[in-house]
Amino acid sequence: KISDDKAKKISSLLLLGERAFRRKEYDKALRYFDDVLELDPGNKDAENNVSEISKQLELEQAAKQIESDLNRAVELYRNKKYMEAHIMLKDIIKRVPDNAKAKKYLMLCSKAVEKKEYLDTLWEDANRLYAKRDYEKARVKYADILALDSDNKSAMDMLNRCEDKIDVMKKKKVSSLIVKARKAYRSGEYQKALDYFDKVLELDPSNKEADREIVEINKKMGDIIIPIIVHNKFCLLYTSP
């Protein structure tokens, strides 16, 4: 049987322990309850309070860990490490299903992963077209990448390369057409020459030589066609019954 003095001591310690517990002064509360258990090893109130404090400490530790993991996941997301962030966020939601912040960033990560996968596909397609020297189609793909990711330096570099290649090919094509046009002109094939120069202007609208030669060819063709028309009219006039 516990003496009255000990009972009073135990009651006072329990009161102090419970007060410290309510204030979340867990270390202090545990010391009070431990003192109770030294005086009365089977005290149910002290044992129950110690158990509750242990649970509370575990919950708070778990909450701190969740917060730390969530901060790390957000940092990974901001550093564009979407897959790593995605894995961490799914684990957080598994532990705390109603965590709104984790749900928000998981959704953002999912969208970012989908976008990255699409960009990777565009990048592969563009590089394949570039390797096949289909620079026009490759340029479109690189431009699509930049429309989604304007800071993509690799895509910008490849877009510039495509434009350089297209420009070189255009100049070669223009030079080839001009050579053919000149040859046709010298052979008296004026319509053929005219067609070649028209194609030059389609590729290079500011080509002065093509403009000049078209004028010259039209004049030449006019000089030839008008006498023919006059001759034909003269023949019709004198051969009519």
| Per-residue model confidence as pLDDT tens digits over 5-60 | 889 999 999 999 999 999 999 999 999 999 999 999 999 999 999 999 999 999 99
pLDDT band at 234 (very low <50, low <70, confident <90, very high): very low
- For residue 237, the model assigns a pLDDT of 46
* Distant-in-sequence, close-in-space partners of 176: CB < 8 Å, separation ≥ 6: none
pLDDT band at 224 (very low <50, low <70, confident <90, very high): low
Q: Is the pLDDT of residue 230 over 90?
A: no
- Which carries the bigger pLDDT value, residue 34 or residue 238? 34
d(CA 120, CA 128): 12
d(CA 197, CA 208): 11
Nearest to 221 by CA among 196, 185, 173, 197: 185
d(CA 229, CA 235): 10
Is this structure's pTM higher than 0.85?
no
From residue 169, alpha-carbon distances to 106, 126, 135, 137, 178 in Å are 47, 18, 10, 14, 14
Q: Tell me if 69 sits within 8 A of 76, measured CB to CB.
A: no
Question: How would you label 4-30 residue by residue, b for 16+ Cβ within 10 Å and e otherwise?
Answer: eeeeebbeebbebbeebbeeeebeebb
